[in-house]
Amino acid sequence: MAPSDCPFKIFWNENFKHIVSVDNRPIVFLDMDGVLADFFGAFSNFAKVNHWKDLGPSELAQTLDAIIGSDFFGTIPKTWCCDELIKMTIDYAGGYSILSSPLDGDEENCAHWKRVWINNNLSPPPSEIFIERSKGDYAMHKGTKNILIDDRPHNIYAWEKQGGIAIRFQADQDKLEVISSAFGQITDSVI
């Protein structure tokens, strides 16, 4: 599909109505779970296991079922790098927005508690919050490639496929140099 035929254009301006790109710099979208919020640690604690990978398929499904309708997403601790990552992003882009997927089958409740979490944990607050699964729809705006920082490969793939710049970052494995170095490379390639 050619970009001009893209149906996303229909609601594009709606999506971005509150976001002001500073000096035409890209908008940086930050993922929550696995980046700003220690979802995997909280999930393991909730399931009372050392690591979520210790759960078998049926235990995993039961734990996810137990989360549905609960305040779980409002109670997750911040990752070790949450505050610093936000500071780095603001220094680089002048601000940030949140782009986070809801839990399957718990969309409305999950979005509510994610907004509570953002309100309680993130300072300064994001320009805009999107709790949506189709992340690639936000990859470009008015010809500018936006940046996504996310831990999941399929989100990275979708973002790049729709023309954006994606940085894969896993808070439980990576150092913040992954992001500072990527920001530096993006700036160098634009100049």
Closest distance to Mg ion from the beta carbon of 146 (Å): 17
Contact flag: residue 151 with Mg ion (CB under 5 A): yes
Please, which residues have CB within 8 angstroms of residue 122's CB and are 6 or more apart in sequence? 36, 82, 86, 98
Q: Among 14-22, 40-48, 50-58, 149-157, which window interacts with Mg ion (CB under 5 A)? A: 149-157
Q: What are the counts of helices (DSSP H) followed by strands (DSSP E) for the chain?
A: 8, 7
Residue type, 177: E
Contacts by 51-60 with C-beta closer than 8 Å and gap 24+?
none
Contact flag: residue 128 with Mg ion (CB under 5 A): no
Question: In terms of CB distance, is 30 or 165 closer to Mg ion?
Answer: 30
Contact flag: residue 137 with Mg ion (CB under 5 A): no
Contact flag: residue 33 with Mg ion (CB under 5 A): yes
Contact flag: residue 34 with Mg ion (CB under 5 A): yes
As given in the structure block, the two tokens for residue 114 are: 């994610």
Contact footprint for Mg ion (CB under 5 A): 31, 33-34, 151
